[in-house]
Homo-oligomer: A and B are copies of this chain.
């Protein structure tokens, strides 16, 4: 982009962000240096702070600055239910429904053999221990309805069954507010199978 090493280093560093190619990285660097230097300082500071202080809840694995996260600490939550989600964003979506009052186990990923993510990387051993602690009565598998999310749910379900537990899975079906005409056929077929 020019003869400055600091600028080239910034463009290279921005490219490590997911979904950011060389053009986007150039545009971001240009924007920050030309129009938003306070934003650059703010982002640098936020990266330092988050790297230093954010780690994983020792009970549910989600991001937290404490040893145990606020959700796990919340005495009003129903400790007999454990919902397994892939990411904090998925957990956040579940929370926004207001329909779930139990606890979580956040995998912080999904099984992905091609990317080298196996059961050990997801801490499934810890999940199985937790599920068998005598407090948890129901494990709800809320991994995504993608190929990898389904495979992850399958592996967890098998592991729980060998331990005598029978997990539940979020229902597949037609999204609320959709017209059947515009819903993909696989979804309609699943909604038919899972009809109540």
Contacts and interface: CB of A to CB of B under 8 A. Distances in A.
Given A1-B63, A47-B43, A6 B54 contact: yes
Contacts of A193: none
Contact of A53 (B6, B27, B53): B6
A32 B47 contact: yes
A69 B2 contact: yes
Nearest to A52: B6
B53 A47 contact: no
Of the listed residues A1, A2, A30, the one surrounded by the most CB atoms of chain B closer than 10 A to its CB is: A2
A27 B16 contact: no
A36 B10 contact: no
* Copies, count: 2
A91 interface: yes
A82 interface: no
A43 B13 contact: yes
Of the listed residues A24, A42, A91, the one surrounded by the most CB atoms of chain B closer than 10 A to its CB is: A42
Contact of A6 (B5, B43, B49): B49
Nearest to A24: B19
Contact of A49 (B10, B46, B87): B10
Contact of A3 (B2, B16, B30, B71): B71
A1 to B, nearest CB: 5
